[in-house]
Amino acid sequence: MRRRELLVGAGASLLGASLFPLRWVAAEEKKRQRVLYFTRNVGYYHSVVVRKDDALSHSERILVELGKQHGFDVDCTKDGRVFDGDLDQYDVIAFYTNGDLTEPNPQNEPPMTAAGKQRLLDAVAAGKSFVGLHSTCNSWRSPGPGDQPNEKIDPFLAMLGGEFVAHGPQQKALMRVTSPGFPGLKGIGDSFELLEEWYAMKNFARDLHVVLVQETAGMQGACYQRPSFPSTWARMQGKGRVYFNSMAHREDVWESDPFQQILLGGMAWALGNVDADITPNVEKVTPNAWQLKS
């Protein structure tokens, strides 16, 4: 097995050097593509999206700089009212969010309206691209402790394709590559280890094309004592391309070459700049993903 231990932290530059090629694929059209990066959190606020002294957060700065390098523009906002406005101006909508985004938060950032949430869902179904990162799968929650039938899953989470359950201690864990031909995976190998905060998830859509699998063997924490499950995936919501990546908790992960490569590949696919075979494979590569205990 070809396995890499991905290097992060000291020695990893802010925007990555050259250990891995950044797999961005530009659109064939000359027009610069525009990304809306929405990072409002309700409840726990993730450090990589916290702004200090009105400056952009860690992840916002990195994504904006990646856009400058690769020819796309990034609009960063925490104002939920943006979804009541013109969404047609954006080529992709990216979320790093947490909690019920229609509720107020201590930072007094304007919440989404119920109508704005529905406008987002309608836009994706009609063909708008969507990218979700890390705690986006903890935005809103479905009722009940276990796996729910589709009609009981929150519509946003049903669109995303999976839902947060819990996480244990940060630790090195194995990601298994199940779609090596997917954009951003070139050179990664069959699997890799990474120090990160790993999410246990549930309510997986049956049409997921799983790109990375969370291998649970040997992990510490009760929520990981279960069969392996999807960690990164692609799917279609109506006409819209949806991509989710469960990584992105730690600052050094954002700074690492491999994460940026994987993220840019997923964004390029979501935007339609490159195609990929996204035949559903969730029941083949993670047949026991819906089993929450060993």
Q: What is the pTM of this model?
A: 0.92
pLDDT tens, residue order, the chain (294 aa):
444 444 333 233 344 433 334 467 777 766 889 999 999 999 999 999 999 988 999 999 999 999 999 999 999 999 999 999 999 999 999 999 999 999 999 999 999 999 999 999 999 999 999 999 999 999 999 887 778 888 899 999 999 999 999 999 999 999 999 999 999 999 999 999 999 999 999 999 999 999 999 999 999 999 999 999 999 999 999 999 999 999 999 999 999 988 999 999 999 999 999 999 999 999 999 999 999 998
Say what the pLDDT of residue 27 is: 74
The CATH class given to the 3-285 domain equals alpha beta
Concatenated DSSP letters of 130-197: EEEEGGGGGSS--SSSS---GGGS-HHHHHHT-EEEEE---EEEEEEES-TTSTT-TTT-SEEEEEE-
Q: Which region holds residue 152: left if phi is over 0, alpha if psi is between -120 and 50, else beta?
A: alpha
Q: For residue 166, count other CB atoms closer than 10 A to its CB.
A: 14
Cα(3)–Cα(188) distance, rounded to whole angstroms? 8
Residue with tokens 């530059």: 13
Domain segments of the chain as ranges: 3-285
Query: What is the C-alpha to C-alpha distance for residues 83 and 284, in angstroms, rounded to an integer?
Result: 37
Give the full edge-to-edge strand order of the sheet including 191-196: 3-5, 191-196, 171-177, 209-215, 229-237, 240-245, 129-133, 92-95, 33-38, 72-77
The secondary structure of residue 288, as a DSSP letter, is T
CA angle 249, 11, 49 (to 5 degrees): 25
